[in-house]
Structure 1
Amino acid sequence: MNLPTSKAQNTTIISYTVSFPEAQAHYADIEMHISDLNQDILDLKMPVWTPGSYLVREFAKNIESLSAAARTKPLAPRKINKNTWRITTKGISALTIKYRVYANENSVRTSYIDASHAFLSTSGIFIYPANMMHQPSTINIKPYKGWAQVSTSLEMVNGDPFTRRAPNYDILFDSPIEVGNQDVFGFNASGVKYEVCMYGGGNYDKERIKKDLHQIVEKEAAIYGENPNSHYVFIIHNHLKSGGGLEHLSSTVLGVSRDAYGTEKGYKNFLALAAHEHFHLWNVKRLRPVVLGPFDYDNENYTTNLWIAEGFTEYYQEIIVRRTNLYPVENYLDALVTEFNILENLPGKDVQTVAESSFDAWIKAYRPNENSANSTISYYNKGAIIGMMLDLEIINSSGGKYSLDDVMKYMYTEYYKTKKRGYTDGEFKKGFEKFAGKKLDDFYKKYINGLTPVDYNQYLGYAGYKITDELADNNDPALGLITATNGNKKVIVTSVLRGTAAYIDGINVNDELVAIDNNPITDAGTMLDGKKPGDKIQVSVTRDGLPLTIPVTLLKNARVKYQIVPVDNATPQQLQVRKKWLSL
């Protein structure tokens, strides 16, 4: 086989034309033109995943009717595996490939097309020639009838908004494209032009958003000492109910409920989401684990460091909003203690380490099931808590001279800018130790690679805070179930938590709860009224269509509900740490 040579890769010209003749049916039609080709065999590939979302999504499943031709001569593409098509190109210097993509998965990670707009998550739209990842390409958009806008971080060609250029495929696959009639407005911050593109309407206030996003951008850029973009795009999809985001090199896609902007809680959550995804333009898009770039688009890319890449970003999303002074300290502490409560009420905290959670993202994080709460944790959640712990440790041990900010800036400068590569787990550990002024072997043993319960009071104590448990004195009984009421108003068990009464005595997921001590269950929230821990009850269920009665001994509700409160008589050192930590 004559594989592409370096010379061939440098001279091959690639362009795409994207049109939407059946947008109403969720289709995009793609024409790929390749010229100045000089090889006997051409393999065309479709990525199986999109960076930032650690799940093999098999984008090739959405491709239909792939064909190829050299001028008027039809060629015969042959599929050789799930995401690769092979074409014999001996003696052929130019060819056209045509295919269709079905796009009807409405999320920030996947493409979606209808008559109102097209969102192109590019790793699931564009096939690429194997061994030509460094090749540039041109993308020409032919909009559906009435569409007038294109929003993407890809630069225009000759000032034409419908023609964009990608310097290489890593950048193309990291540059989503929004096409339609989105509401576009912008601002300048940290020397960069920012574009905000709103699809789906909503009760947002443009001027407020511009002002507040400006503050967030400036606070985040201040940590790293620079903003590496010239142009950044927020693509925001507003739906009836929506959430989540996905980071990209010079843009992000956010999902927001269109009416969320009208409440302080909803608006604050929007700012935190925007702060999270924008923070990624440094942390993970540039300062990254060594395996996350150059990407292998055919296979999983494993790392034990998503607790840094995602968890620290979750920690910073709240602390950055705090630094803008848009909300009081109490709001920040409430957001932080919510992270504590999520982790501490998961039985999985005693099973899966945060390093394991990172590594197993590909098979567990995006594929939760009814037992996930018992066997897993989130590297977002525990990573955010570890971010807080290390931030306070560094501030305290350095007498307020350093913080986690200094670690992030040092690692960004040292590995992204100077060494021009990703970091290893050991290298980031040394970065923490450099500013903490101490070895962190025990910390890693306990909290990164181990299952030691978090000592919240130790770390909060550095800043003169402690936790209290609102439920500490309760004596309420609990079965330990999570339930849902279906369309027929039946109460169905959706999860059984490890170590609870239901778990021990054998109530199962998918059981229909019918009665307790022959009293019909109409409301799961009141089914234990009048009961106490130690009571022996008879739970009537329907399992697989058959009636079953299960004797259960009720246990005390083991849930915690922490609050963060100041300690009495905080010392000057504690107040110094608090001031540095909370930007007081």
Structure 2
Amino acid sequence: MRKKIFGLISIVFLGTHLHAQVNVVDYTIGVKDTAKHLFHIEIDYVNTTQEDSVSFYLPKWTPGYYQIMDFAASIRNLKFENNAKETLEYILVDSSHWIVPVKKGETVHIGYDMLENKNFVAESYVDGNRAYILPTNLFLYNKQIQFGKNIRVRVLKDPSWPNIYGTGLSLQKTDASTWDFTANTLDDFYDSPILLGKLDSLPTFYIHGIAHQFVGYDLGNSQYTQRLMSDMKKIITQAIDIFQDIPYQKYVFLGIGEGRGGIEHLNSSSVSFSGNSIKNENDYKRVLSFLTHEYFHNFNVKRIRPIELGPFDYQTANRTRQLWISEGLSVYYENWLLYKTGIYSQEEFLNTFADAMDIYENKPGHLIQSLASSSWNTWSDGPFGNLSDTAISYYDKGPVVGLLFDCAIKYYSKGKFSLENVMRALYDQYYKKLGRGFTEDEFKNIATHYGTKKILPLFEYINTAKEVDYNKYLNLLGLKLNYTLQNGKKIFHLTN
């Protein structure tokens, strides 16, 4: 069944470039056909450059999911027109790059549809129940827009859907028919998905006056969803205590319904979530662990980040050797935070590392690929080391190395410091003070500052495929690792 266009999102960008000229772009998006999973997008752009043509791009990847994506394959009925509604013949440089003849001061009008039928957190999606708008895979940009400032986003409300939305964007104003949001930069806008539709919300909680929300589709109403926000408040309070700072004005979990995965954003996270799928206490703890991981990323990768991860180049892989920090240490802290808040017992906490060792140590690739290489090669190997004979995953080895660092830093500093001091120093020095990412050497310098140079041998477990001497560092704090063999595979046991 065809449905009329229900809502439009108008995005207005005002900025300056190197010659202090002002350029303006208006974005508009609406749902064209829910049955066919179609958005319709229109763009009006004024050429303020000195050139007689403009390059437009669609991103080839989205931050948080380190894979090249063929977003442009979803484009339908693309057309460029001038003010007289005459079609402009463009040059297709590659699947995501168009050069359009537009003289200085003239406006180009762009219209196209986007087919979004994959219920996946790294792509937009629309049906009769909700619209998940991931800006990176929908909106064209050019260099003037990318390096400008101040984007206003207008969402026209659909009266057939509840008056509820979810986004990390700042609300500028609202009335009976619209929401107006703002973002500082294109990077911020691209990193702020919007969820609309037949949504519900869980009770908002506040920490130091800052709102934390959960808005989503198919949230359910069970004993587990009723407990969820209370437990997340405990976890997030503990995470904030690590950094002694809240870097956002609000935080929103966007539950997009059943699907695949989760992706962190600047002030929000998109999570595949259905409250009705939580059947027991183990399911519930897995959900808490998942949400904690995505939340912790607002500190570790959105603010504490490898220097290669921002500002972004959306047209190519942004490779770094330090995803083991961004992802692996986030796994470490998801487990640590659930333990610190009493949700995990000590046995459950230690079992998370034994389980990771089971996966890592039984992959032939653990003798071939280093942790740093698994970070660099994730664009080809996949985030979980899909080429199992030659590759590993930083999700498995990363948190285990994090545990070894924590043990060593605590021991060699005589209990004065821990891995938390390293994370807080990275946050304070490179995010708050310098406003940039950190290099490999800068991470090493901060780690050895707190753990002394006696922790330097641990970096071999990052940069080489050397067999890990776990007990050398676990024993420092009274932990002990052993394993048994079952069907030719090592099964690890970590005890205190």
CA contact (8 A) 1:111 1:119 kept: yes
Please state whether the residue corresponding to 1:293 is helix, strand or coil.
coil
Say how many residue pairs are matched. Answer: 474
Aligned match of 1:68: 80
Q: In the alignment, does 2:469 pair up with 1:452?
A: no
Could you tell me how far 1:246 is from its partner in structure 2?
A: 0.6
* 1:122-271 pair list within 5 angstroms: 122-135=135-148, 136-142=150-156, 146-148=160-162, 149-160=164-175, 162-185=179-202, 186-204=204-222, 205-239=224-258, 242-271=259-288
Q: In the alignment, does 2:22 pair up with 1:11?
A: yes
Q: In the alignment, does 2:47 pair up with 1:23?
A: no
Aligned match of 1:59: 71
Residue by residue over 1:239-288, the C-alpha shift from the partner in whole angstroms, topping out at 9 and shown as x without a partner, is: 2xx45211111110111354343311111111111111111111111111
Please state whether the residue corresponding to 1:48 is helix, strand or coil.
coil
Could you tell me how far 1:408 is from its partner in structure 2?
A: 0.3
Q: In the alignment, does 2:489 pair up with 1:559?
A: yes
Aligned partners of 1:128 and 1:89: how far apart in 2? 15
Aligned match of 2:417: 402
* 1:279-290 pair list within 5 angstroms: 279-290=296-307
Could you tell me how far 1:382 is from its partner in structure 2?
A: 0.6
Could you tell me how far 1:366 is from its partner in structure 2?
A: 4.8
Please state whether the residue corresponding to 2:146 is helix, strand or coil.
coil
TM-score of the aligned structures, taking structure 1 as reference length: 0.77
> Taking CA–CA contacts closer than 8 Å with sequence separation of 6 or more, which of the two structures ends up with the larger relative contact order?
2
Q: In the alignment, does 2:124 pair up with 1:107?
A: no
CA contact (8 A) 1:357 1:365 kept: no
CA contact (8 A) 1:70 1:92 kept: no
**Letter of the structure 1 residue corresponding to residue 205 of structure 2:** F
Q: In the alignment, does 2:374 pair up with 1:357?
A: yes
CA contact (8 A) 1:150 1:162 kept: no
Could you tell me how far 1:565 is from its partner in structure 2?
A: 2.3
Q: In the alignment, does 2:434 pair up with 1:419?
A: yes
**Letter of the structure 1 residue corresponding to residue 197 of structure 2:** G
Please state whether the residue corresponding to 2:153 is helix, strand or coil.
strand
Aligned partners of 1:41 and 1:344: how far apart in 2? 55
Aligned partners of 2:118 and 2:170: how far apart in 1? 26
Residue by residue over 1:516-571, the C-alpha shift from the partner in whole angstroms, topping out at 9 and shown as x without a partner, is: xxxxxxxxxxxxxxxxxxxxxxxxxxxxxxxxxxxxxxxxx3201111223xxxxx
Could you tell me how far 1:469 is from its partner in structure 2?
A: 2.2
- Between 1:335-344 and 1:226-235, the stretch displaced more is 335-344
Could you tell me how far 1:14 is from its partner in structure 2?
A: 2.0
Please state whether the residue corresponding to 2:304 is helix, strand or coil.
coil
Aligned partners of 1:8 and 1:89: how far apart in 2? 18
**Matching residue within 374, 382, 393 for 2:408:** 393
Identity of aligned residues (%): 31
Could you tell me how far 1:74 is from its partner in structure 2?
A: 2.0
Residue by residue over 1:171-208, the C-alpha shift from the partner in whole angstroms, topping out at 9 and shown as x without a partner, is: 11101111102112321124421120121243544441
Aligned partners of 1:425 and 1:188: how far apart in 2? 36
Aligned partners of 1:456 and 1:267: how far apart in 2? 30
Aligned match of 2:4: none
Residues 243 and 269 of structure 1: is their aligned pair in 2 closer, same or farther, counting only changes over 3 Å? farther
Aligned partners of 2:421 and 2:480: how far apart in 1? 25
Residues 442 and 470 of structure 1: is their aligned pair in 2 closer, same or farther, counting only changes over 3 Å? closer
CA contact (8 A) 1:26 1:114 kept: yes
Could you tell me how far 1:419 is from its partner in structure 2?
A: 1.6
Residues 158 and 258 of structure 1: is their aligned pair in 2 closer, same or farther, counting only changes over 3 Å? closer
TM-score of the aligned structures, taking structure 2 as reference length: 0.90
CA contact (8 A) 2:173 2:179 kept: no
Please state whether the residue corresponding to 2:144 is helix, strand or coil.
coil
**Letter of the structure 2 residue corresponding to residue 402 of structure 1:** F
**Matching residue within 97, 105, 130 for 1:84:** 97
Aligned partners of 2:16 and 2:32: how far apart in 1? 37
Residue by residue over 1:323-379, the C-alpha shift from the partner in whole angstroms, topping out at 9 and shown as x without a partner, is: 11123212111222111111111111111110110000111125965xx22111001
**Letter of the structure 1 residue corresponding to residue 393 of structure 2:** S
Aligned residues: CA RMSD: 2.1
Aligned partners of 1:93 and 1:195: how far apart in 2? 43
Q: If you compute each CA radius of gyration, which structure gives the higher value, 1 or 2?
A: 1
Aligned partners of 2:16 and 2:248: how far apart in 1? 32
**Matching residue within 467, 486, 496 for 2:481:** 467
Could you tell me how far 1:137 is from its partner in structure 2?
A: 2.9
CA contact (8 A) 2:38 2:115 kept: yes
